[in-house]
Structure formats: C-alpha cells, structure tokens
Chains A and B, each alone.
Chain A
Amino acid sequence: MATFLGINLFALSGQLLVGLINGSFYALLSLGLAIIFGLLKIINFAQGAMYMLGAFAAFLALQYLGMNYWFALIFVPLAVGAVGILMERFLIRPIANEDHLYSLLLTFGFALVLQGLFTHWFGSSGLPYAIPDELKGGTRLPFMYLPNYRAWIIVASLIVCVGTWWMIEKTKLGAYLRAGTENPALMQAFGINVPLMVTLTFGFGVALAGFAGVMAAPVYSVSPEMGSNILIVVFAIVVIGGMGSIGGAILTGLAMGVVEGLTKYFYPEASTTVIFFVMVIVLLLKPAGLFGKEA
C-alpha cells in the first residue's frame, strides 16, 4: 500500500475524489443560486428541491418512458427549468415589489410542498438509478482506482460551470444580464425586455439544479431528502464565497468539496460540520465573503 509520511495515499486520494465530486455538485448548485440572486436579489430556497426533482425526473423517465441517461441529461434540465419558469411567473413575480424576505419564504414553502409530495409518493428511502452502460467500469491510476462515472461527473460539471461563466462574462447575452443586475430600470429604458430576462434567468438557474440532480442520481440514492441536506451546505458555501462573482461561486464550491474530502480522511467526525466551521472563520475574518463585493 502506498504511504507517505504515514498517510495512506490510496485512501486519501479516494476521499479527495469524493470531495471533488461533492464539490462539483456544490459548484453547480451555488452557481445557480448566484445567477438567480444577481438579477432577482432573492435566494431560491427551492433550489435543493429542484435538484431533487431533477433526480426523480431522471428516475421516472427511465422507469416509465424508457428514456436513457443521456436523453435525461438534456430533457430533465429543460423540464425542471420549465417548472422554475412557471414558479417565477405565477408565484414570485406577483410579490416582486414586496420585501425580498417574502419571496424567500415563498420558495421555502414551495420546497416543502415538493419534498412533501415526493415523500408521500415514494417514501423517504432512496431509490436506485443505474450508471449508464457507457460509463461503467473504471481506470486504474498509479495510486487509485478511478470509476469512469465519477470522472465524468467532474468533467461534465466543469464544462457546464465554465460554459456558464463564459456565457455570462464574455457574450452579449451575458452583458445584458450583468447590466440588468446593475440597473434593471435603465435596461428597460434601452428597450430590453427585463421581465422576460428575469424569468429566463430564473429558469436557467433552476435548470442547473435539475442538471445536477440527473448527474447525482447514479451516485447518490434518489430520495426526497437529498435536496434539503445539500442545500444547507450550499448556503454555507454561498456565505463563504459571497455571491458577487460567478467564478467565485464555482471555485468556492469545488474548494469546499475538497476540504470536506480531506476532513473525511484526517478527522472523519468533523466531516459533516467542517464547511460550517469554515463559514464561521470567514465571517470572522472577511464578513463579506472571499469573493464578496458588498460590505
């Protein structure tokens, strides 16, 4: 067994890999939250429920429609995004001019309903979703075994994250989006349909959660609780990173996954709490968050 300074490299790199995978999901979810926050100034408490919805949709599509993983990866985010669009249009927009705390509470209520419905239909135990045939098996690296599907998660989430970052920071559409974040009234005066942009942005942010849900279905069991558990961690990550920058949200998500993985190796008892402790330290040293702009 490969050891270095008493550290079992095999086990350590295994935990690092798990950390990177969790980090990929953290990155996808906090990215969605950051995009929605940028334009709507609200935190979507239903983001976790949408992630759960994505996983269940993939499971159900396979079960009842025979839709395989690859199609699910395309259609499920679209469907979840559509749910998000309906939610924005009919629930969030009517109270857009009220205190933002109300829209936060509304998304929380929506999450409770979704989670409650799925618990009622499927119970709280997890359901299995098979890894697609193309990604079964793994590769033997010098000091670890790398399952193909896990490598795929990291690569695919990175592509989606970087693609989203590029779209927002480098394209004209992204420029509109950033301008809308700065001054929606002025954008409207220039003839941009801001309400439509808000709706689509919300849909896109939610679709990212749906995408994460499909990706997660084969590695975590599909269960109604899966969304709320991860969401609270993602909130801590958002506080750590600050929502001022898209790139910051992605980096913080990945980094916290790795931190969690390392803790699992060195001090497993603290692995569930370490991210919250990091949040406490960041609050003490840099209250606005690592990438935060506001005071």
Chain B
Amino acid sequence: MTAVARAAQRTPPLERVNPVTPFAAAVLYSIPMLLTVDVVSAAVALAAWLVVFAAAGIGPRTILRRSWPLLLAAPLSAVSMLLYAEPSGRVHAQVWLATISDGSIELASAILLRVLAIGVPTLVGIVGVDPTRLADGLAQVAHLPHRFVLAALAGVRLFGVLEEDWRQIALARRARGLGDTGRIRRLLQAAFALLVVALRRGGTLATAMEARGFGGPQEGRAERTWARPSTLSRADLVLVLLALAVAALAIGASVAAGSFRPPWAAHL
C-alpha cells in the first residue's frame, strides 16, 4: 500500500467526500422523508443513521457537537404539537386552549423523531465543512459562477473580522456612557456602525482581490486555474446511495407496518 493510500484511509470519511455531496445527499434524503409523518419511518431512519455513523467512526461527541441546536428545537416543536395539535382519541388533559390527547401524543412523538431523523444526519454532514473546500466544490464540481463563489468565500472570512468589530463597538458604547437607556435605539445605532465598517471592509477587500487579478480585464479570455483540485470520487457515490438507501428503508418499513401517513392525510 502506498503512503498516499494509507493517508487516505486515515482521513475521516466525511473529508473524503466532496463538500458539495452532503448537500446533494441531504436534499435527496429529505424529500422522501418529508412525505410522511409517522413514528416508524423516522425511528428506522434515525437508527439506521446512527449505525452508519458508528460504522464510519463518527462518534457521539461529534454528532452532539454538530446537531445540538436540533436537540433543543425538536422537543420544542414536539411540545407545541402535544399541546395544540387537533385533539383525537382519548383526551388526557385540557387547560384553556391546550389539549393533550392520544392523537396529539402520537403526533408529538412523530414530529420529535422526524426533526431528528432529517436534521441530525444533515447537520452532521454539513456542519464544520471547510468553507474553502466547499467553495472549490461549488465552483469546480457544481459549476456555480466562480466570481460569485470566490466573493462569498472571501466574505466568509470577513465574518470573523466583523465579530471582533461588533465586540469593539459594544465596548465603545459602554465607554461613552451610552446603553443605560434606549436599548433598542442603541442597538440600531451599533448595527448601523457595524454596517458602515462592513461596507468599508468589503470595499477594501474588493480592491485587494482586484489587485490580485480577480475579475480582471482578461476575464473570459484566459480560463482561471484552481490551486486545489475538487473532484468527485467513489466516496461521493457511496454517500448519495447511502442516503437514498436509508430513505427507502425507512419508507419501506413504514409502509410495511401500515403506519405510512403523508402530511395531507394527517387529519384522517
């Protein structure tokens, strides 16, 4: 085995796929998964993904770190379903507009599992993607216009810089004795100051990029080259097929169990 092949084997699986692929896979997987709101398909899909992650060496810590916002959002949406979904079956409790019934309990658990089943694998796949690799993929593989992609990439770097600007602006407000009163107005003023700083930074960034031949006069005549190649490999095919397979398994299990229930039929 060559050194390169060994190095490739050590690379985490998600870094072997092109960063564009998880986005495509997420779309292909989500469409069938949105066709039904039932416990079985979501539970099967979620379980299947956890098996896939374990096989790929993606540990629970990575999964939690990337998908934690969902772990907050999913219970919230479940609770609202639990309390406010159209009641059906036995009613367990009723407080003003909120009603907990057999139907709402079932719907709440289905929603909870579905948000996780769609959201967790998607976030694990796309959170933490290196912006530079993503931009390379978007321009070279997805063939989006490279001027747009590169401008966006350079803009992403500015976010970090603007975060520091925002901190400084906030400290400066306090130093000037502002902020005791009129919070909203002060916030708007600070946002405006940040906007001005952002525009100025954007302007100088554009100049710096132009000075390095970006969008130059010979554009179109000479093709731009790419220092970092971005290509598709078998790993990308594997990921897409995996996403489709999990979706098929989940829907199949749901149909077989007789619980397949499209949203338009939710009230039935």
Whether both chains belong to one complex is answered with no
Where the two chains meet, the residues of A that have a C-beta atom closer than 8 Å to any C-beta of B are none
Where the two chains meet, the residues of B that have a C-beta atom closer than 8 Å to any C-beta of A are none
